[in-house]
Structure 1
Amino acid sequence: MASDPKVLVFEEVAQHNKTKDCWLIVSGKVYDVTPFMDDHPGGDEVLLSATGKDATNDFEDVGHSDSAREMMEKYYIGEIDASTVPLRRTYIPPPQAPYNPDKTPEFLIKILQFLVPLMILGLALAVRYYTKEK
């Protein structure tokens, strides 16, 4: 850690709320956990859901080990200006691709992958049966 830590405002930290750019506030410190997203045992969704707020309670509720706490130090980037952190925040999920209603449901594709070969086989057997010389 630097001898004179960088002080960040909440609005700046809250903007880093994507998989490729993720900052968390834990115990008044700001961490850039972007390199850890793929390796986090709980998955990246857990980390993304803790962005844009003080994630101290989320972090403590899980009961992280001492080694996890030590690992956090390499992601430390500065302190949060506590006066800029809102007391209560409404959860705003990270931006996601819009739902496309024209997209064929996956189960329909799986059914067709099973039925189409069976129909081809049935058609081939029917053609063979009706064209077979007696």
Structure 2
Amino acid sequence: MGGDEKVFTLGQVSEHNNPKDCWLVINGKVYDVTNFLEDHPGGDEVLLSATGKDATDDFEDVGHSDNARDMIAQYYVGEIDVSTIPKKIKYKPPNQPQYNQDKTSEFIIKLLQFLVPLAILGLAIGVHHYTKSS
């Protein structure tokens, strides 16, 4: 990186967010893609929606070709001051009790120990009443 390169804040880049003036931040670099909006295969809305933030994930998720990666170099205008980009917060799921297969098995066994004798008793009573009434 030479000393003559421009360094922009995210706030400065965010001001370039319309079809007549569109800048993107990709991989720490700032690109003025205004002249490419009409030619972008995904349409200009895709590029315009990526302004005002770090668009690296958007760019990478699409799976751009090597040609597209080479082409973007012609739109380079400078670097982004990374300290102005908000840090991504990694999602941390809430603490929840773990599913315990052993406790579930214990519950099923206890339930069966209660229900099976009841079923046998019910069957015995039913057979007894049936044979008595015949």
Q: Aligned in 2, Cα 1:2/1:72: closer, same or farther, shift over 3 Å?
A: farther
CA distance in 2, matches of 1:68, 1:86: 27
Choose between structure 1 and 2: higher helix proportion: 2
Counterpart residue type for residue 25 of structure 2: I
Q: Aligned in 2, Cα 1:38/1:4: closer, same or farther, shift over 3 Å?
A: same
Counterpart residue type for residue 48 of structure 2: L
Q: Secondary structure at the match of 2:78?
A: strand
Counterpart in 2 of 1:52? Answer: 52
CA distance in 1, matches of 2:9, 2:3: 19
Q: Secondary structure at the match of 1:38?
A: helix
Unmatched tracts of structure 2, length 5 or more:
89-134
Counterpart in 2 of 1:5? Answer: 5
Identity over the aligned pairs, expressed in percent?
Answer: 67
Corresponding position: 1:21 with 2:10: no
Moved beyond 3 Å, runs of 4+ = 1-4
Q: Secondary structure at the match of 1:37?
A: helix
Question: Any idea what the Cα deviations from partners look like across 1:53-100, whole Å, max 9, x if unmatched?
Answer: 000000000000000011001000000000011236xxxxxxxxxxxx
Shift of 1:4: 3.4
CA distance in 1, matches of 2:14, 2:86: 11
Aligned residue pairs total: 88
Shift of 1:3: 6.7
RMSD across aligned positions (CA): 1.6
Corresponding position: 1:33 with 2:63: no
